[in-house]
Amino acid sequence: MRSRKLLLVVILVVMVAVAGFAGHTARAQGKSFKIGVSNSFVSSEWRSQMLSNMDNVVKDLKATQGIDVQLLVESKDTDVPGQIQQIQNLLNKGAQAIIINPGDVKGLNSTLEDAVAGGVPVISVDQAIDAKGVINVVIDQKQWAKISAQWLATQLGGKGDIVLIEGVVGHPANEARMSGVQEVLDANPGIKVVGRDSGKWDQATGQKVMANFLASLPNIDGVWTQDGMATGVLTALKTANPKKWPIVSGEARASYLQQWADIAKTQTGFTSFGVVNPPGVGADGLRVAVELLSGTKIDPLALQGANKNTLFVSIPYIVDKTNFDAWYAVVKDLPASYTLDGLISQDDAKALMAGKLVAQPPTASTPGPSNMPAMAATMAATTTK
């Protein structure tokens, strides 16, 4: 009798252990996370596409890995105090990690550092900041701007009068970009800046600024600009139709490529240039956040940048005269707001954190298996705004 009781006890212990292991396995396969998103600038189709990308990744994580992610999104046009309030709101809602597209270089640091100290990972996307403990998942914005600025300098033969139309002054990405432009100008003293103004990353404002330049400056050989403002620049040029068109650096957006194709019909020899600034970087940050919450560690050697807190993702590709026709065929019927894109996979996120995925210089690639799947997912979710 005693041996039978002992056998029953052993069987019960084994059953409990097996049940416990099965429960643990189920929990491991069914992770659930609350991840906050703080976005301080909604007057931008790029930001809308960024958020759509993140929604797509949430669906992908559920479908392919059984991971449930609840995005807690705070998104509105706001200033530094307003974005600080966004962060507090996300923490109050139980965010286990926060992804932020910061609206200021330094103003958010204290609040973000407090969140990190409280055990909440914070990932800055789109632009790098130096808050202690915050991880940046970004392209190299300075290098991004240098690529198009160097193209413009080369097209001008290193001399001429140009105008600069920049984004929001003081914004981290804009400051990084303009420092890159300045490096190119310093290396090309024959290029003179005869006008500089902010287009506030807005197409209508960019058009107005360019129209003012055309009315007040007798000679403009080149224009360096970026984002949706570039489309505004082309609209202003089409309206004014100057006798001599300046050389214009552009943007890898559907609206810009559509204008480019239209202008090339009447302006013989017109060409331009666009470097992809992927809205997918927000989704890249989300994938890294999921890995952090799952226990994946970042190899310190993978962290780059001046403050050694940055995971650089590649600038996906450029659009120039060599591959323009191929990319125009892709975007000619898309919403004007669509930006050519690039996203990493979950395996890529792990490799990035391990230092095994290193950002590569962009090339003039054409649509193909390596970039079309990510684009297709984004296009399906993109709406005009």
Query: Is the pLDDT at 293 greater than 70, yes or no?
Result: yes
| 206 and 114 within one domain | no
Question: Would you say the pTM of this structure is higher than 0.75?
Answer: yes
| 253 and 160 within one domain | yes
Please tell me the distance from the alpha carbon of residue 53 to that of residue 341, in angstroms, as a whole number.
Answer: 10
Please tell me the distance from the alpha carbon of residue 284 to that of residue 138, in angstroms, as a whole number.
Answer: 9
| 148 and 110 within one domain | no
| 148 and 251 within one domain | yes
Please tell me the distance from the alpha carbon of residue 294 to that of residue 210, in angstroms, as a whole number.
Answer: 49
What is the domain extent for residue 263? 142-275
| 110 and 162 within one domain | no
Please tell me the distance from the alpha carbon of residue 92 to that of residue 340, in angstroms, as a whole number.
Answer: 35
pLDDT of the residue at 368: 80
Mean pLDDT across the stretch 47-75?
Answer: 97
pLDDT of the residue at 209: 98
Residue 58 in domain: yes
Residue 5 in domain: no
Q: Which of 275, 296, 327 is the last residue of a domain?
A: 275
Mean pLDDT across the stretch 138-163?
Answer: 98
Nearest Cα to Cα of residue 371 among 309, 327, 322, 324: 327
Please tell me the distance from the alpha carbon of residue 40 to that of residue 201, in angstroms, as a whole number.
Answer: 14
Please tell me the distance from the alpha carbon of residue 140 to that of residue 128, in angstroms, as a whole number.
Answer: 9
| 125 and 147 within one domain | no
pLDDT of the residue at 364: 96
308-348 pLDDT, tens digit per residue, is 999 999 999 999 999 999 999 999 999 999 999 999 999 99
Query: Is the pLDDT at 385 greater than 60, yes or no?
Result: no
- Arithmetic mean of pLDDT over the chain: 89
Query: Is the pLDDT at 188 greater than 60, yes or no?
Result: yes
Q: How many domains does the chain have?
A: 2
pLDDT of the residue at 3: 42
Helix (H, G, I), strand (E, B) or coil at 222: strand
| pLDDT band at 17; cut points 50, 70, 90 | very low
Query: Is the pLDDT at 14 greater than 90, yes or no?
Result: no
CA 254 to chain centroid, in Å, comes to: 16
C-beta neighbour count of 81 within 10 angstroms:
9
| 355 and 271 within one domain | no
Mean pLDDT across the stretch 341-361?
Answer: 96
| 43 and 62 within one domain | yes
| 248 and 154 within one domain | yes
| 161 and 90 within one domain | no
Residue 15 in domain: no
Contact call for residues 160 and 194 (beta carbons, < 8 A): no
Residue 93 in domain: yes
Residue 59 in domain: yes
Mean pLDDT across the stretch 239-266?
Answer: 95
Mean pLDDT across the stretch 36-64?
Answer: 94
Contact call for residues 109 and 85 (beta carbons, < 8 A): no
- The amino acid at residue 248 is V
Mean pLDDT across the stretch 40-55?
Answer: 92
| pLDDT band at 379; cut points 50, 70, 90 | low
User: For the chain, what is the radius of gyration of the CA atoms?
Assistant: 24
Query: Is the pLDDT at 280 greater than 90, yes or no?
Result: yes
- Cα–Cα distance list, 70 to 35, 83, 290, 346 (Å): 6, 20, 11, 17
pLDDT of the residue at 370: 65
Residue 41 in domain: yes
Mean pLDDT across the stretch 303-309?
Answer: 96
Minimum mean pLDDT among 3-17, 174-188, 225-239, 262-276: which range? 3-17
189-246 pLDDT, tens digit per residue, is 999 999 999 999 999 999 999 999 999 999 999 999 999 999 999 999 999 999 999 9
87-101 pLDDT, tens digit per residue, is 999 999 999 999 999
Please tell me the distance from the alpha carbon of residue 57 to that of residue 64, in angstroms, as a whole number.
Answer: 10
